[in-house]
Amino acid sequence: MKKALFIIFIFLSVYSCKSQNQSSVWTAEYEAKWYRQIDDGVKLRLPDDDKRKDLVSYIVKRLKSELPKGIESIPADSLNRLSSKIGAEYGSAHPYGNSGLIPHFAKWTPLLEKALRDEFLKDASPKELESEKKACDCIMVELKKIYPDSVLTPIPRDILFKVASKCFDEIK
């Protein structure tokens, strides 16, 4: 779950900044522009300057290595997949408890739901996939009961544990 929050966070930051008419060459100016835009996008949710600098630097470095022709060189759905990958990598390397993220409410959107589902199901083996999908569906329904309009992110650990336990018990 900790990785899902980073994935959503990174995707929303990068996607909201995506521009269709910018240069696709990673010049110093282009890199600085994306650094500023991503930094501005995460500033309210991650006020610690050192942690934010680390996160934004990591994102820009990975985007630069994955997209040598620039962020505009791929469609939004591909950017979503790449953002998920980068978020998972960053989340793995940086413990959630030290993230410094400020809790906030995120509106339920198909993109948010997809990111949560992808994160819940990413480690499921082929044997477990069907039961994991059922549990994931249940978790989404239960979270929407608790948070009908907007979900609190990061999702409080006790709520996520309670919901997941209930759903896994139901599918047994």
The model's pTM is 0.49
Task: Give the whole-angstrom CA distance, residue 108 versus residue 26.
Answer: 34
Choose between 86 and 99: higher pLDDT. 86
Contact 139, 163 (CB under 8 A): yes
Higher pLDDT, 131 or 94: 131
pLDDT digits (tens, 9 = 90+) for 109-156: 898 888 888 888 887 888 888 888 999 999 999 999 999 998 887 777
For 26-65, how does the pLDDT look when each residue is reduced to its tens digit (9 = 90+)? 999 999 999 998 888 888 777 888 888 988 898 899 889 8
Query: And the tokens for 142?
Result: 């239960």
| Least confident range of 14-28, 51-65, 67-81 | 14-28
Burial label, 123 (beta-carbon count in 10 A; 0-12, 13-18, 19+): exposed
